Amino acid sequence: MGQGVSSVSPPVSVVAQPPPTAATEDEEEESEDESEILEESPCGRWQKRREEVNQRNVPGIDNAYLAMDTEEGVEVVWNEVMFSERKNFKLQEEKVKAVFDNLIQLEHLNIVKFHKYWADVKENRARVIFITEYMSSGSLKQFLKKTKKNHKTMNEKAWKRWCIQILSALSYLHSCEPPIIHGNLTCDTIFIQHNGLIKIGSVAPDTINNHVKTCREEQKSLHFFAPEYGAVADVTTAVDIYSFGMCALEMAVLEIQSNGDSSYVSQEAINSAIQSLEDPLQREFIQKCLEVDPSKRPTAKELLFHQALFEVPLLKLLAAHCIKTMNIGTRLSETHRSESTISVINRLPITAKTAGIVSDLQPAGVQDLVSQLV
């Protein structure tokens, strides 16, 4: 009979955990301070935290804090617009409410969602508070700075995708009744998600900008604002096209050089950046947006049709969608075949996926393409 072998477990060594350091304790306290609830919305759904949102450089918006949506369990942004005097707000109250009522209704894949707004009017001050979607992945400006470390220019395909998404959002805003002017479009107010989805945010309309403490003259991004700002009483949607053109230029070259230590970007620096572009179509596309005369700037929808954004595979997708939308059988009638490009495309909704990637095709070109698909 064999002897049994008894196994003896080795002693378990207990590693003593070092006591928490002063730095760790400070970090925990700081984290607790940031998550402290400072204020609630009147309905109790949104809770403002101490932690500020630092991914913004928005004219008109004085403060932005992280907040919690207690119904959905997600983080949102608590934005505050401070009016310099209570009487200034009272004079504009109805107009401000009308604008924000429209903003709440906006639903677009490439626009940061507005959830709610309300006014907080005290004897000596007035605030408008509005809750927006939180973009945790950061601004396009931040992304361009990171990219510039390893590249001299932006990849052309990425540039096209970004332009299409931004123009799709602007076309949607400008087609509202009345048209909504973004008024703050810069690379700081455009956000990019990890999957490449672009969203434009911080739509703080001119209604607000003209009556708040924040002065436009203090802006670091003055070159994004169209020349007619301050020169005319009522600006048009063309100001957004100018701002988009400057964004498109900055996206292409990654950075427009400022004047030395100053943050001011001169016209000479802008012209130099445009001339550095190798693609003549890209250059022309941006120059059209930056026309000094606002009446000569294209609309967002027209820019979606520019050759600089033209891609044949997406054109086929667009044509196929058009056929489905028109609910035709297996063959198109001669009447449909003779329709112009624009009349066909105008049947389609402007969305991020089907936004016009069509340029100057003649009707015959559309006929040939459709013939291949039916």
Which of 210, 226, 340 shows the shortest CA–CA distance to 293?
A: 226
Which of 193, 122, 118 shows the shortest CA–CA distance to 161?
A: 193
Tokens of 159: 């540039």
Which residues, in sequence order, are bridge partners of residue 82? Answer: 127
pTM of the model: 0.70
The b/e string for 174-187 (b: 16+ C-beta within 10 A; e otherwise) is beeeeebbbbbbbb
Tens-digit pLDDT profile for residues 328-367: 454 545 545 445 445 544 544 444 444 444 433 444 444 4
- Sheet holding 114-121: strands in order across? 37-40, 46-52, 63-69, 74-83, 126-133, 114-121
What is the structure's pLDDT at 353?
Answer: 43
Apex 245 CA angle, 78 and 53, nearest 5? 20
What is the structure's pLDDT at 202?
Answer: 67
The answer to whether residue 33 scores a pLDDT higher than 60 is yes
The rounded mean pLDDT for the chain is 77
Tens-digit pLDDT profile for residues 298-332: 999 999 999 999 765 556 666 666 665 565 454 54
Q: According to the per-residue pLDDT averaged within each range, which of 220-224, 286-290, 358-362 is highest?
A: 286-290
Residues of the chain with CATH 3.30.200.20: 35-133
What is the structure's pLDDT at 7?
Answer: 47
Euclidean distance between CA atoms 186 and 365, whole angstroms: 37
What is the structure's pLDDT at 191?
Answer: 92
The answer to whether residue 214 scores a pLDDT higher than 70 is no
The answer to whether residue 140 scores a pLDDT higher than 50 is yes
% of the chain residues with pLDDT over 90? 35
The answer to whether residue 83 scores a pLDDT higher than 90 is no
Domain 140-200+220-304 sits in which CATH superfamily? Transferase(Phosphotransferase) domain 1 (1.10.510.10)
Tens-digit pLDDT profile for residues 227-283: 988 777 788 999 999 999 999 999 999 988 876 666 788 889 999 999 999 999 999
The label of the residue with tokens 């919305």 reads 41
The b/e string for 104-143 (b: 16+ C-beta within 10 A; e otherwise) is eebebebbbbbbbbeeeeeeeebbbbbbbbbbeebbbbeb
Tens-digit pLDDT profile for residues 46-82: 999 999 886 555 556 778 899 999 999 999 999 888 8
Residue 222 vs residue 347, higher pLDDT: 222
> 19-23, 160-164, 243-247: which range is least confident on average?
19-23
Residue 301 vs residue 154, higher pLDDT: 301
- The CATH architecture assigned to 35-133 reads 2-Layer Sandwich (3.30)
The answer to whether residue 24 scores a pLDDT higher than 50 is yes
Residue 20: asked if its preceding bond is cis (omega within 30°), the reply is no
Residue 286 vs residue 139, higher pLDDT: 286
> Residue 31: which pLDDT band, with cuts at 50, 70 and 90?
low
What is the structure's pLDDT at 211?
Answer: 43
Mean pLDDT of 79-108: 81
The label of the residue with tokens 């089907």 reads 354
What is the structure's pLDDT at 5?
Answer: 47
The label of the residue with tokens 């086929």 reads 316
% of the chain residues with pLDDT over 70? 64
φ/ψ of residue 368, rounded to 5: -65, -40
Residues of the chain with CATH 1.10.510.10: 140-200+220-304
> Residue 149: which pLDDT band, with cuts at 50, 70 and 90?
confident
